[in-house]
Amino acid sequence: MRIAITGATGNVGSALVRRLSAAGHELVGIARRVPPEDDSGVAEWHAADLSTTGSADVLARAFEGADTVVHLAWGFQPSHRLDYLEALGVGGTRRVIRAVVDARVGHLVHMSSVGAYSPKVDETPVSEDYPTGGVPTSPYSRHKSTAERLLDDLEREERGSGLTVSRMRPGIVGQRHAGSSLMRYGVPVLVPGALLRHVPVVPLDRAMVIPMVHADDVADAFARVVESRVPGPFNLSAGSVTAADIARALGGRHVQVPTHLLRAAADASWRLHVQQVDPGWVDLARQAPSMSADRARAELGWTATRPAADVLEETVGGMAQSAAGDTPVLRRRTVLGELQALLRRGPVSRRVRP
């Protein structure tokens, strides 16, 4: 099967390429920065920035002859450039949809997120029919919700055409190899990874309950839906982590702090460029629902192999040790390297990608 994957070098993309290549599929990878040339033949690579209109021509070439397109590409930084993030997430999804239709691809698999869901009303895990209105104060959530509306439009317009649309909605996705990437995007430049194992206190609201899942388990679910062509949405969760779990992974003591105080601190420090994570992530952590993965188990035969707390522990361990992968996105992070990038290109929260 010929499968084209956008965002094929990222956290989920790298795991999916491993999974699908091992199964013998013919892969086409699309990424802003493609891996160096090698002789592995794992994929045919195309370089494209999906935030730009020029990427449409690249997508047309990459999707030619594809049986399935898996759309993973998304952005988390620069958090102070919402125009870029919207152009990449929403605009990129729109361009992928157009290219899928034009190339007459039979199956589109889109990576949505727990972030697409409307705020929770209680701690009951939600199924896939829960509203996908997003958390309004989180830009990431708003954009994921908007992408769901684009898929709604696509399904209405292409009804009867033979196009199958599958939507995968994972919780927060972690793996050891993403450690450097997560440090680069989420931790101030002068903070070495080793300090993450020596945090004395962890100020969080105990009401935060965050669904997580391992990247390899997500890749397995994607592979199953690609091979079975089952339409519709699928929650992917290995359970949820609590504030106490996060404190334990960081080696610190949990201190109860209400969400509104955490958000105020995150907002002020983000606006002052002390740290690069926008306050919408605090809102999403507090308001995202827990998810039931019953449909994925019943229709895909999928079960998460690693509990959420283990995924968190592995991910934090990877961050502390600056673990890295083989792709440019997952490259190793060092304080010296981040300082050089800061001086050369400015803070990551405002940095326009080259």
Q: Average pLDDT in the 255-264 region? A: 96
Please provide the DSSP assignment of 30-79 as one string. EESSPPPP-S----EEEE--TTSTTHHHHHHHHHTT-SEEEE-------T
d(CA 208, CA 67): 40
H or E element, residue 168: strand 164-170
Query: pLDDT for 18-29, tens place per residue?
Result: 999 999 999 999
d(CA 248, CA 307): 15
Domain limits, the chain: 2-252+259-333
d(CA 270, CA 279): 7
Residue 169 and residue 234 in contact, taking contact as beta carbons nearer than 8 Å: yes
d(CA 288, CA 63): 34
What is the pLDDT, as a whole number, of residue 327?
87
pLDDT at 84 over 90: yes
2.70.98.50, 3.20.20.140, 3.40.50.720, 3.40.50.880: CATH of 2-252+259-333: 3.40.50.720
Q: Is beta strand 44-47 parallel, antiparallel or unpaired with respect to 172-174?
A: unpaired
Query: pLDDT for 149-205, tens place per residue?
Result: 999 999 999 999 999 999 999 999 999 999 999 998 888 877 888 888 888 999 999
Cα–Cα nearest to 35, from 49, 11, 14 = 14
Half-sphere exposure of residue 151, counting CA atoms within 13 Å on the CB side? 24
pTM of the model: 0.93
